[in-house]
Amino acid sequence: MTPGGADLLLVIDVQVDFLPGGALPVPEGDAVVGPVNALQQQFRHVALTQDWHPADHVSFADNHPGRASFESVALPYGPQVLWPRHCVQGSKGAGFAPGLDTDRAGLVIRKGLDPRVDSYSAFLEADRTTRTGLAGALRERGITRLVLCGLATDFCVAWSALDARDAGFDVWVVDDAVRGIDVDGSLAQAWARMRAAGVHRIAAAEIG
Ligand code: VGL
Ligand code: ZN
């Protein structure tokens, strides 16, 4: 793949809290920083996302007395996995990973701001109704193909990739520039769902 003017690199949630030592660490999450920076050099269009929750966010286990992290609860919009408190708006943990190049991005989009609704996806919140506006912003820039990288493969990357397909984009995920959390087989399931939806898998070395 040779990136051109209609291609955008979408960098998902490469934030301090998702790195080893962070509040919700993704195993080897720090290993994506180098590859993501190298990929950014190849794309004219880059967008970054940030998970960006208020302190009273519904996805935080400590906002559900008697519940533990990684348990699932039933919410009005469906099942919700409870997580350790992470990526609180303005906190150090919500910041971009040290060493991540943030200078080239033309668009930074924050998600998960509604205290009552989670948003793994950069496009559509977990109520499956509220749109972030990203699809429209990309269309207005003439983008038709998205290349995704970042964290975590089985949550924010996968949900963003699937919603991007639904929104009509050609979608690729960079195998070696993503890492997963893997709760109860979620990683294999995410790859299977992406494959079934026509999301392509590519290695960083195949881009350039
Ligand atoms: C994410 C769980 C909770 C992610 C965000 O970025 O994949 N996962 N919030
Ligand atoms: Zn989150």
Instruction: Give dist(CA 154, CA 84) in Å, integer.
Output: 17
Phi, psi of 114 (to 5 degrees): -75, 120
Reduced to 3 states (helix: H, G, I; strand: E, B; else coil), residue 11 is strand
Residue 107 lies in a domain: yes
Examine residue 124 and state whether it is found in any structural domain, yes or no.
yes
Contact call for residues 132 and 111 (beta carbons, < 8 A): yes
Report helix, strand or coil for 117. Answer: coil
Task: Select which of 118, 154, 156, 163 is catalytic.
Answer: 156
Of 108, 120, 38, 35, the closest CA to residue 77 belongs to 120
Asked if the structure places residue 200 within a domain, the reply is: yes
Please give the residue range of the domain that contains residue 201: 7-53+96-206
Closest ligand to the CA of 19: 1
- What is the C-alpha to C-alpha distance for residues 84 and 89, in angstroms, rounded to an integer? 15
How many angstroms separate the CA atoms of 99 and 96, rounded?
8
- Residues 6+ away with beta carbon under 8 Å from 141: 8, 45, 106
CATH of the domain at 167: 3.40.50.850
- Decide whether any atom of ligand 1 lies within 6 Å of the 83 Cβ: yes
Is residue 92 among the annotated active site residues? no
Q: Is residue 116 part of a domain?
A: yes
Minimal-distance CA residue to ligand 1 atom 6:
156
Please say whether the beta carbons of 193 and 165 come within 8 A: no
From the CB of 151, is ligand 1 less than 6 Å away?
yes
Within-domain flag for 39:
yes
Within a domain: 86? no
Task: Decide if 13 is catalytic.
Answer: yes
Per the annotation, the verdict on 156 as an active-site residue is: yes
Instruction: Kindly give the confidence (pLDDT) of every residue in the chain, 208 residues in length, as a single tens digit, with 9 standing for 90 and above.
Output: 999 999 999 999 999 999 999 999 999 999 999 999 999 999 999 999 999 999 999 999 999 999 999 999 999 999 999 999 999 999 999 999 999 999 999 999 999 999 999 999 999 999 999 999 999 999 999 999 999 999 999 999 999 999 999 999 999 999 999 999 999 999 999 999 999 999 999 999 999 9
Report if residue 133 sits inside a domain: yes
In a domain, residue 28? The reply is yes
Number of domains in the chain: 1
Cis, bond preceding 192 (omega within 30 deg of 0) = no
